Structure 1
């Protein structure tokens, strides 16, 4: 019944199908390799950003008013000089450090360029309470750059907080609490005052995830493998149809009917 597979037409068609399958598998494997490379690059960037290194001025990392914190710069060691605005210190509740619930102590640090950076001087366990005294005069802070929080990322309720508390650390919320422009993101100070604990680097949700290009490579991988499966499926369907036609002719039936 399947002797027709040995005819030149079917041998040629099968060879073309095999070539198409191999090409699809090779292209799919190449796209999968690109996906794995992008994942590795993403992890390397995250590790490099978090690695301990010499601190650089904040202005060199966030250059220009429109500069934004990215996955490449989260965890970067930075220095910033200015004056703390003690009158506008904020407490950020519902923040977890080492598995314990507590709050951040956030003090705006005004820089010579007129903008301020939100400096989290440390974390304390329990409900928001008293905060350590704010140093007066010019200070230089060394810490790690953090990404702006998304709404509810810390578990705090954005609305209904008492005066002096902040639900989410981001330029969108700080603009309502401070009368001057602020840098994107915030800085977790390396040295916390007595009674506070230094805040570890906080990875943004999805910060260690995949870029859009990585997802595109993964999608292309799936497409090429589907194409290879489609070639196999079509070859099987054509073989079955030809076999049925051969059988009908052997029984004296018209395959066209």
Structure 2
């Protein structure tokens, strides 16, 4: 049987089927990705507005307000800065996390002119000792995107954190840590600042709107995977027939051999 399976004609068949499977699985995955991406498209991206128009004290950030461009002017409260551990420089990663390039978000409260605080992610640093951790003094103006408070289930801490570090940007948690002024909901992911940001800015997406899924692409994905299954079926059929044919030929050859004659004495 092994001789049949590794015959030159079947080796070519094996290689052909492997190539077909790889191609069909890739095409199916591609169509699935198109389907998944079809549910939303970039929405209108209005010009920045003061954060006080969208973020309030004691009110949730609405879906329509998430990722809106905002500006905020005030002074950072350097003594209350926190490091958000185990993060990457891209808020679009699941939970802001990734297998490589982990570091820290710089989370600093910005005291606005009305005395309220708004959390600002000033950027990303690879280590807690990076020089960019230092908080600028004086009045600053931040432009960025407004994000909703993270929920406990969004981020799974890898273990106990040192003092001065947190696992997520949660308004409910920050209220207990920053107690000297009312805290506005959500947080700003800074894209630019005056004076300029020292840390690497954290990438945040523009607003998206639901447009409905393209079910045709999902059907295409399933279709390619069905083709892959059919290719496996046909491969099995040809290999089985080749093995049976080889067995029949060997049996016929044995039947045609002359019978051995007994010696006469």
Q: Distance in 1 between matches of 2:85 and 2:205?
A: 15
Pairing 1:59–2:56 present: no
Q: Which runs of 5+ in 1 are unaligned?
A: 1-39, 215-257
Q: What's the CA shift for 1:190?
A: 0.8
CA shift for structure 1 position 118 = 0.4
State how far apart, in whole Å, the 1-side matches of 2:206 and 2:62 are.
11
Task: Please give the root-mean-square deviation of Cα atoms over the aligned residues, in Å.
Answer: 3.1
Q: 1:48 corresponds to which residue?
A: 43
Query: Structure 1 161/152 Cα, relative in aligned 2: closer, same or farther at 3 Å?
Result: farther
SS at match of 2:163: coil
The answer to whether the Cα contact below 8 Å between 1:94 and 1:155 also exists between their aligned partners in 2 is no
Aligned length: 163
Provide, for residues 143-181 of structure 1, a one-character-per-residue CA deviation record: whole Å limited to 9, x for no partner. 110111111524435x73211111111111101211122
- Identify the residue that residue 31 of structure 2 maps to in structure 1: none
The TM-score normalised by the length of structure 1 is: 0.55
Cα distance between partner residues in 2 of 1:101 and 1:78: 27
Shift of 1:91: 0.5
Post-superposition CA distance 1:73-104 (Å, at most 9, x none)? 11111011111001111100111236521110
Runs of 4+ in 1 over 6 A off after TM superposition: 207-210
Output one character per residue of 1:8-63: Cα deviation in whole Å (capped at 9) or x when no partner: xxxxxxxxxxxxxxxxxxxxxxxxxxxxxxxx9x836xx326x3x4110111123x
SS in 2 for 1:91: strand
Offset at 1:111?
1.1
Separation of aligned partners in 2, 1:111 and 1:156: 31
Query: Would the aligned equivalents of 1:132 and 1:194 in 2 still touch at CA under 8 Å?
Result: no
TM-score (norm 2): 0.53
**Using CA pairs below 8 Å that are at least 6 residues apart, which structure has the higher relative contact order?**
2
Number of the residue aligned with 1:196 = 199
2:122·2:197 contact (CA, 8 Å) conserved in 1? Answer: no
Distance in structure 1 (CA, Å) of the matches to 2:51 and 2:197: 25
* Cα distance in 2 between the residues matched to 1:191 and 1:86: 18
Please state how far the C-alpha of 1:123 moved relative to its aligned partner: 0.8
